[in-house]
Structure 1
């Protein structure tokens, strides 16, 4: 599934998707170390996270300017909110080192529920927030592939 607003679609942004899916299929994702790993220059790196989900309202919307986010659920389930409308209002300065900027909650966004084995690809400049519980808090192990051009 690729969910994107046509006005903000840039095909070049998605050149790394096949590479990312191959990585997911060929790697023991239960054994990747927590934190950042598998760095391939500016092209790609892996962020492995483990946490307990919380009410999604506890999290702020964020955007990235250099990388796509591919969120893959190894264990557990979570809600992710995504707005394909890239007309956001910044609430913090852009942090170039972390490639992150927090933005106001968009007026309209989609609620996506991911279960074990599911992934979503979030485009650059698409406001999103993650780690949301569905019905009750659960432990999640998630791989976020950060895909550059």
Structure 2
């Protein structure tokens, strides 16, 4: 499955899927240490996270300017909300070091449920929020977010 807005679709972004897939197929995802690892400059790095999901309304939407987010669920289940067709204006609140800016909640967005083994590729400039519990039930998630640079 590939979900994208036709106007924002950049096939070069999605060519990076092969690198992400190859990485995940060739490592033991349960042994990747928590935190940032496998850094290849600005082009690629891995962020491994473990947390309990929460009410997604507690989280802000965020966007990135330099990297795609490839969210892969190693274990657990979570809701991720994503909006397409929106072009956020990067302002003084943009954190260049972390490549993140928090934005207002979009009027329209999609709720996506990811289960063990599922992934979601979020394009640059696409507002999204993560860590949401599913059906009102908190659960432990182990997730790998691959940051895919330009």
Q: TM-score, structure 2 length as denominator?
A: 0.95
The alpha-carbon deviation at position 49 of structure 1 amounts to: 0.3
Q: Name the residue aligned to 1:5.
A: 5
Give the root-mean-square deviation of aligned CA atoms: 1.4
Equivalents in 2 of 1:2, 1:122: separation in Å? 10
Distance 2:60 2:90 in 1: 11
2:117 & 2:12 partners in 1: Cα distance?
A: 26
Residue pair 1:39, 1:46 contacting (<8 A) in 2 also: yes
- 1:142 and 2:143 correspond: yes
Indicate if the aligned counterparts of 1:75 and 1:140 stay in contact, CA closer than 8 A: yes
Within 5 Å, which residues of 2 pair with 1:1-149?
A: 1-88=1-88, 93-135=93-135, 136-149=137-150
Q: Which moved more, 1:10-19 or 1:132-141?
A: 10-19
SS in 2 for 1:134: coil
Q: Distance in 2 between matches of 1:5 and 1:105?
A: 18
In structure 2, stretches of 5+ residues that fail to align are none
Check whether the contact 1:91–1:102 (CA below 8 A) recurs between aligned residues: no
Which secondary structure does the structure 2 equivalent of 1:140 belong to? strand
Task: Encode CA deviations 1:54-112: one digit per residue, 9 max, x unaligned.
Answer: 01001000000000000000010000000012233668711000000000011100000
SS where residue 96 of structure 1 aligns?
coil
- Aligned pairs, number: 149
- Is the partner of 1:19 in helix, strand or coil? helix
Could you tell me which runs of 5 or more consecutive residues in structure 1 were left unpaired when the two chains were aligned. none
CA offsets 1:113-148 (integer angstroms, 9 cap, x no match) = 000000000000000000000020000000000001
